[in-house]
């Protein structure tokens, strides 16, 4: 099915606006990328932190986070930027480090960037991915705003009536909810009952995979895997209550390779806030046909298609990409042959320009 796109004239105007926005991103008056962690309010002692990236005059220093090394100024004094906050919602099992490059672009434009650690679906505790986590994530984004507002280093320098939100994968599901989307656990179940074999990883995560043969035929044990998956899904996800969430402070959103097959697409036909999408054609975890492309078909000319990574996989927008990913996780997140990561900087700039257009007065 062909996706409806904007007219040539509208697309040209949008490009001109984007170029103008990028031109405004002049050299910042600060030297480094500040980083700090603050507590999530009102979520109990077990709640994870909110990671904050921000402008600072302090120089970057190498910092080690597991297998990843980033250059940033940890707990440095903040410098007032453009007065606006952008939230980032990580994917399943995710961490704040894999969005550091996007955070740097946003900070260079003056934004403060905050990332809540989502309950039971993060790199420390990946025990409850899927609808169990998705139902809680939007409220965690709101509490992240509250956490930043309450911090004496950041709150006084921010105007929180217009906050941006970015999310990828499960984080994309989060921002679609914030943009006005309605979904249900039963909607997830219905999709998986019909398209389990074709969209297997979206339905079962990294528990197992199908071992298709050369011609795409199911492997010897695949029939058993499909049967067992259907039993577990039917047991866990039969709640038909529609879920939605709104925070009036959130004023613009970008969803990257979002989990979306469980949404009532009619609820995304007219997003409540400006909405943009980033897609990847070679996504093997969330097939575009039932996820990102379905959203684009639903919102048509009422949302913006910021970028389509023709050779990108599900992990394309993770930047930096964690090194040494192996097994099924590596198959899902590592770059397909031929993918050029150099293009991600331009995508990050487009996301930043989108936030500038919709958040800055």
Task: Report in angstroms the alpha-carbon separations of 173 from 134, 140, 225, 264, 318.
Answer: 7, 13, 26, 12, 16
Please, which pLDDT band fits residue 14 given cuts at 50, 70 and 90?
very low
For range 184-196, the mean pLDDT:
96
Asked if residue 182 has pLDDT above 50, the reply is yes
- pTM reported for the whole predicted model: 0.90
* Terminal C-alpha separation, the chain: 38
Predicted local confidence at residue 8, as pLDDT? 35
Predicted local confidence at residue 28, as pLDDT? 59
Q: What is the pLDDT of residues 206-239, one digit of tens each?
A: 999 998 655 567 777 899 999 999 999 999 998 9
Please, which pLDDT band fits residue 351 given cuts at 50, 70 and 90?
very high
Of 9-13, 31-35, 285-289, 299-303, which gets the smallest average pLDDT? 9-13
Ordered domains of the chain (ranges, CATH):
8-184+248-359 (3.40.50.1820), 185-241 (no CATH)
Q: What is the pLDDT of residues 124-175, one digit of tens each?
A: 999 999 999 999 999 999 999 999 999 999 999 999 999 999 999 999 999 9
């Amino acid at each position: 099915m062909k996706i409806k796109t904007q007219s040539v004239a509208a697309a040209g105007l949008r490009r001109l606006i984007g170029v103008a926005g990028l031109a405004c991103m002049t050299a910042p008056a600060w030297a480094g990328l500040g980083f700090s962690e603050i507590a999530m309010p009102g979520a109990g002692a077990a709640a994870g932190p909110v990671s904050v990236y921000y402008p600072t005059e302090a120089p970057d220093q190498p910092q080690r986070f597991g297998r990843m090394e980033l250059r940033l100024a940890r707990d440095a004094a903040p410098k007032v930027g453009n007065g606006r906050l952008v939230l980032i919602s990580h994917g399943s099992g995710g961490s704040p480090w894999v969005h550091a490059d996007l955070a740097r672009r946003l900070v260079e434009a003056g934004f403060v960037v905050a990332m809540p650690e989502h309950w039971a679906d993060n790199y420390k505790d990946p025990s409850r991915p899927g609808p169990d986590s998705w139902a809680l994530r939007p409220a965690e984004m709101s509490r992240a705003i509250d956490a930043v507002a309450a911090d004496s280093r950041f709150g006084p320098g921010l105007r929180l009536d217009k906050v941006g939100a970015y999310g990828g994968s499960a984080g994309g599901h989060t921002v679609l909810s914030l943009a006005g989307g309605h979904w249900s656990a039963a909607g997830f179940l219905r999709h998986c009952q019909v398209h389990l074999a074709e969209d297997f990883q979206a339905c079962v995560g990294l528990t197992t995979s199908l071992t298709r043969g050369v011609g795409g035929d199911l492997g010897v044990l695949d029939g058993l895997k499909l049967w067992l998956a259907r039993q577990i899904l039917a047991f866990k996800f039969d709640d038909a209550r529609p879920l939605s969430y709104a925070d009036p402070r959130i004023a613009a959103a970008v969803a990257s390779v979002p989990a979306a097959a469980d949404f009532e697409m009619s609820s995304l036909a007219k997003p409540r806030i400006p909405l943009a999408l980033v897609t990847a054609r070679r996504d093997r975890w969330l097939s575009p046909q039932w996820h990102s492309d379905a959203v684009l078909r639903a919102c048509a000319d009422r949302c913006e298609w910021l970028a389509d990574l023709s050779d990108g996989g599900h992990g394309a927008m993770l930047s930096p990409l964690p090194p040494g990913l192996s097994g099924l996780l590596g198959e899902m997140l590592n770059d397909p042959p031929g993918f050029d990561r150099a293009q991600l900087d331009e995508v990050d700039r487009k996301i930043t320009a989108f936030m500038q257009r919709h958040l800055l007065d």
